[in-house]
Amino acid sequence: MKDLAIVIVSYNVQDYLDACLTSVFGSRGLSFDVCVVDNASADGSADMVAAQHPQAVLIRSAVNGGYAYANNLAMRQMGIGDGRADYRHVLLLNPDTRVAPDDLARSVAYLDSRPDVGVVGVKLMRQDGTLDLACRRSFPTPLVSLYRMAGLSRLFPRSRTFGRYNLTYLDEDETAEVDAVCGAFMLVRRAAVEQAGLLDETFWMYGEDLDWALRIKQHGWKVMYWPEVQMLHYKRASSSRSRARTTAAFYRSMLLFYRKHYARDTFFLADWVIVGGIMVSGALAYVLQAWLPSVLRRLRAGAPSLLL
């Protein structure tokens, strides 16, 4: 049985994917297979994988069915989730990450040392040297989300009350049990997957990793943030190519997560406020992403029609 099944989902990020795979295949100290799912890219990513990294299993998806859909394609092919897998653990890895030669072996060794742990996430760093805050999170309960949307988490990041969204009150070098970690690097014990099931494909992008962590925790497993491994994450390399669409996906996922896990226990008046708040915030964010950039470009070009 191999140590690790590595799943990488790619969409129009050929250069990032090439570098990521090069780093992954330079890993040492463990046995693993890699499955790349190309989500109907138009930049030649799939052909690059076939030519440059033939040791990877390549799935050419005819459609961009979303992040959960693509990960599940790979996990099903590798026998994960139905008891057929010849792997001890599975790793969801974004193509805009880079791993050092010992990163994967060390992470697997940590998971092996903690039989009570179902999920491990590592310290993800942005290009500018700052922490990717999404690498350790609380579940977005209505109260936690309210603090976030009201800006209180940014105003009081060290507060244990207001800073719960990204756990900003914790030392970034402190190992901690958390609610969830980022799907950019999500190391999951296969036994936990067998119990909780695969990713929920209702989530097109965003929220599926939170939902998976919650379901895994519901089966008694712990989720750990383990900063002893530090990894570079070129944030939103794929999603930046379609900001408006991914912004809409983020708020849709927020609404799906709320309805799936919290709506049934929420008083109906509060439910109206929460749903309305998410929808209004999402609509405003979508308009700003889809419309404002073009307006600003025209203003800079001196288009007089915008001044009438």
**Cα 141 from Cα 143, distance rounded (Å):** 5
Residue type present at position 72: N
**Cα 64 from Cα 39, distance rounded (Å):** 5
**Cα 144 from Cα 87, distance rounded (Å):** 36
Q: Kindly give the residue spans of alpha helices, DSSP state H, lying in 126-261.
A: 142-149, 152-155, 190-196, 208-218, 243-261
Residue type present at position 302: G
2's tokens:
């191999």
The full DSSP string for 250-291 is: HHHHHHHHHHHHTGGGS-HHHHHHHHHHHHHHHHHHHHHHHT
**Cα 140 from Cα 213, distance rounded (Å):** 12
pTM for this predicted structure: 0.87
Give the closest residue to 250 by CA, choosing from 286, 214, 275.
286
pLDDT grade, residue 121 (50/70/90)?
Answer: very high
pLDDT grade, residue 282 (50/70/90)?
Answer: low
Q: What confidence score (pLDDT) does residue 296 get?
A: 47
Highest-pLDDT range among 110-124, 140-154, 246-260: 110-124
Percent of the chain at pLDDT > 90 equals 67
pLDDT single digits (tens) 66-103: 999 999 999 999 999 877 779 999 999 999 999 999 99
Q: What confidence score (pLDDT) does residue 294 get?
A: 57
Q: In 3-state terms, what secondary structure has residue 127?
A: coil
Burial class (CB in 10 A: 0-12, 13-18, 19+), 125: middle
User: Measured in Å, how far apart are the chain's first and last C-alpha atoms?
Assistant: 69
Q: What confidence score (pLDDT) does residue 243 get?
A: 66
Report which of residues 20 and 84 the model is more confident about: 20
pLDDT single digits (tens) 126-175: 999 999 999 999 998 888 888 887 889 999 999 999 999 999 999 999 99
Q: Average pLDDT, stretch 169-195?
A: 97
pLDDT single digits (tens) 194-221: 999 999 999 887 889 999 999 999 999 9
**Cα 52 from Cα 218, distance rounded (Å):** 41
Q: What confidence score (pLDDT) does residue 293 get?
A: 60
3-state helix, strand, coil in the chain (%, to 5): 45, 20, 35
pLDDT grade, residue 250 (50/70/90)?
Answer: confident
Q: Let me know: does 168 contact 153? Beta carbons within 8 Å.
A: yes
Q: What confidence score (pLDDT) does residue 148 get?
A: 83
166's tokens:
């990204």
